Structure 1
Amino acid sequence: MSFPQKSALTMTAILVVVFGFYFALVLGPVAGTPAPARDFAFTALLILAGAVVVVLAAATHIVLAIVFRREVDAHDERDRLIDLRSTRVAAYILAAGVFGGIGLAMVQADGFWIAQALIAALVVAEIADGLTKLTLYRRGV
């Protein structure tokens, strides 16, 4: 397993776990509260989730870089091609999610739901990026 593959696996797992908890809380108990409290709660949870992702990503990549120090700078053409393909898939998903958010804004949905749609689009696009990388590395593309 190459270093970029380990990195993709780590980041995908972090995003799934952290934002799984985020959406479980926000779409569960937080969604039923009145608007001002709901907006404050989801904003605080989003900032907390972002901070947790940054800390976990930094810590796990430091550990990976220490443990696999010989592989850190070993990138080849295959790594670049896989990165380009996975980024393209993620861009399509992100664009579709943004259009969904724009659609919610056009029908004048509550700002809470527009924000959640846009956050979900970003998270799903990043998870798809990681899963696409892992799939392409497994296939040997």
Structure 2
Amino acid sequence: MLSELEKFILELGKGFAFVERQKRMIIDGEDFYLDLLFYHRSLRRLVAVELKLGKFQARYKGQMELYLKWLNKNERKEGEEMPIGLILCAESSKEQVELLEMHKDGIMVAEYWTELPSKKELEKKLHIALIEAKERFERQQLL
């Protein structure tokens, strides 16, 4: 599955460069493994990707924050921006993600599909995503 995800991310667009799979990080003598690590040339930053098989859980934020801080301290090179993270889950928890304000920490959550939905279902999901994005934008404008 990681191989397929790796191929998918590389197809997202220009600028992504694969760095490492199962990136080992030793913290307090304990081993941690980041699923995938990429570098984006245009953004000039590392992109950490974690794949979760189930529904999003709030604890995933802390795990990704730990990984991003470790990468920032140990892997970030001079002239690069702070690393960002992407958590891919089988199912998102929109309210938890919104309440955790993960975007402020450079962490995004997205769902992956194990099978392609019908055209009608895909159009519905895209329409809902567009409405939610507009609502978030409008709320940010009010602040």
User: For the superposition of Structure 1 and Structure 2, which TM-score range results when normalised by the shorter chain?
Assistant: under 0.3
**TM-score of the pair, normalised by structure 2:** 0.26
* Structure ranking higher in helix proportion: 1
Greater RCO structure (CA 8 Å; 6+ sep): 1
* Structure ranking higher in strand proportion: 2
